[in-house]
């Protein structure tokens, strides 16, 4: 979207729109997700599509990325409220899916 230098949304309207958009995102459900686990256990989100309350679908992208491109994202975990938590951190298989990893390795006979 190219900005029109003669078009400006008034600050009060922007604040109201931010509340509406925030509510849409907070009430959205995940419609689809695609993830990749690399060989050292990093979790990469390849796609995360949200279904908004009105039926539209949305996906977050870096601001500088063209609308038709996809950018890989990192999965972050907030665990400050849990024993031993550290706030926001990058999610890893070792830290966040250790039991599932052990089951997957055992199930695969590795």
Least Cα distance to 77 among 55, 92, 98 occurs for 92
Which backbone phi and psi does 49 adopt, to 5 degrees?
-110, 130
CA separation for the pair 106, 67 (Å, rounded): 41
Instruction: From first to last of the 110 residues of the chain, give the pLDDT tens digit.
Output: 567 778 899 999 999 999 999 999 999 999 999 999 999 999 999 999 999 999 999 998 877 777 777 778 899 999 988 888 889 999 999 999 999 999 998 887 76
pLDDT at 12: 95
Q: What sign does the dihedral 49-51-52-54 (CA atoms) show?
A: positive
């Amino acid at each position: 979207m190219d900005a029109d230098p003669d078009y400006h949304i008034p600050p009060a309207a922007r604040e109201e729109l931010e509340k509406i958009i925030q509510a849409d995102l907070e009430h959205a459900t995940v419609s689809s997700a695609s993830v990749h686990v690399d060989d050292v256990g990093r979790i990469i989100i390849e796609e995360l599509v949200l279904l908004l309350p009105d039926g539209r679908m949305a996906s977050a992208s870096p601001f500088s990325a063209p609308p038709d491109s996809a950018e890989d994202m990192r999965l972050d975990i907030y665990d400050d409220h849990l024993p031993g938590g550290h706030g926001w951190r990058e999610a890893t298989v070792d830290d966040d899916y250790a039991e599932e990893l052990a089951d997957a390795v055992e199930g695969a006979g590795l």
